[in-house]
A and B are shown apart, each in its own frame.
Chain A
Amino acid sequence: MSLPPDHLDPLFDRWRAEAPRLAAPLAPEVWRRIRAGRDGREPRGLAAFAAAFARPSFAIAFVSACVLGGLFFAELRVSRLQAERNTQLARSYVRLIDPLLNSLPPAGAKVGTSHR
């Protein structure tokens, strides 16, 4: 009983055969491809930075982000100031309605018991 033909068999046959000879040495070819890839790549560093800002869409997005950032930090400052102001007003109101709060004697000050 014979097994049905498998489509992997030709691949196994090629694997068993001797490896094909290269037209040129391997290492120089690898370096050539690396150089070619490096030359074809996007510009890096400052050049990429300048290229990004040269795009109008990026420039508009950057300026908009700066404006939003400015508004955000201004709102943070306003909120903090408002909270401080509320605390200050609450204290002054409490002092207004309760005159005794202004009259705490200095810490540790006690009148002695000796008399004449």
Chain B
Amino acid sequence: MKRALLVILAGLVSGVLAHVAWFDTHRPAGGEGLDSQLAWMQQTLALSPEQFARIKALHEQSSPQLLALAAQVARMRDEFAAFERERRTTGEVDFLEFAGFVEQRRAVDRECAESTRRLVLAASEILNPDQRETYLTLLNPALKGTDAVGVN
């Protein structure tokens, strides 16, 4: 009986060790930045080294403008919230100011949509048809989402 328990213990310890070792060596790496996203694209789209270099250059070139637009959009969202607060507290909104905000917001929305479209088109040109299909499938939620966004 003692030998049976020893064998069971040895089996459990071996199983746990194998589990931990395999999990630690194959665990996906963390990170959220552009480098991680590019590595993910390389893996998901099976990019060749040349394609990866071009995609990387394209994204590094577009990234500052996209981040600036994102900051601008966030600022406008805060402005929108301020309009909403004012409406709730005073029951009124400066119509001319709000009309100016809406116009500005539409311009930013257009610029965002145009930047996204340019980047997607440029990236698609680097990819082969299969990769392009996968890429556009991945972007589908974003491409649909832009239709529903914005202050009208």
On whether A67 and B14 interact (CB within 8 A), knowing A74-B22, A78-B27, A99-B73, the answer reads yes
A59–B11 Cα distance when bound, in Å, is 9
On whether A53 and B112 interact (CB within 8 A), knowing A94-B139, A94-B142, the answer reads no
Evaluate contact between A50 and B109: CB separation under 8 angstroms: no
Q: Chain B residue with minimal CB distance to A77?
A: B23
Evaluate contact between A50 and B87: CB separation under 8 angstroms: no
Evaluate contact between B40 and A93: CB separation under 8 angstroms: yes
Evaluate contact between B73 and A74: CB separation under 8 angstroms: no
Evaluate contact between B94 and A74: CB separation under 8 angstroms: no
Indicate which residue in A100, A105, A114 contacts B145 across the interface (CB closer than 8 Å). A100
Evaluate contact between B120 and A97: CB separation under 8 angstroms: yes
Q: Is A104 an interface residue (CB 8 A)?
A: yes
A102–B116 Cα distance when bound, in Å, is 13
Indicate which residue in A75, A86, A111 contacts B98 across the interface (CB closer than 8 Å). A111
List, in ascending order, chain A residues with CB within 8 A of B146's CB.
98, 100-101
A64-92: CB near B (< 8 Å → 1, else 0) gives 01111111011101100110011011101
Distance of B7 from chain A, by nearest CB (Å)? 4
Q: Chain B residue with minimal CB distance to A79?
A: B26
On whether A100 and B19 interact (CB within 8 A), knowing A53-B8, A63-B11, the answer reads no
A108–B7 Cα distance when bound, in Å, is 63
Evaluate contact between A115 and B19: CB separation under 8 angstroms: no
In A4-56, which residues have CB < 8 Å from any B CB? 46, 49-50, 52-54
Q: What are 20 A-B residue pairs whose CB atoms fall within 8 Å in the complex?
A: A50-B1, A53-B8, A54-B4, A59-B7, A62-B11, A65-B11, A66-B12, A68-B18, A70-B17, A74-B26, A77-B23, A97-B139, A99-B67, A100-B112, A100-B116, A101-B145, A103-B74, A111-B83, A115-B95, A115-B96
Report which A residues bind B (CB closer than 8 A): 46, 49-50, 52-54, 59, 62-63, 65-71, 73-75, 77-78, 81-82, 85-86, 88-90, 92-106, 109-112, 114-116
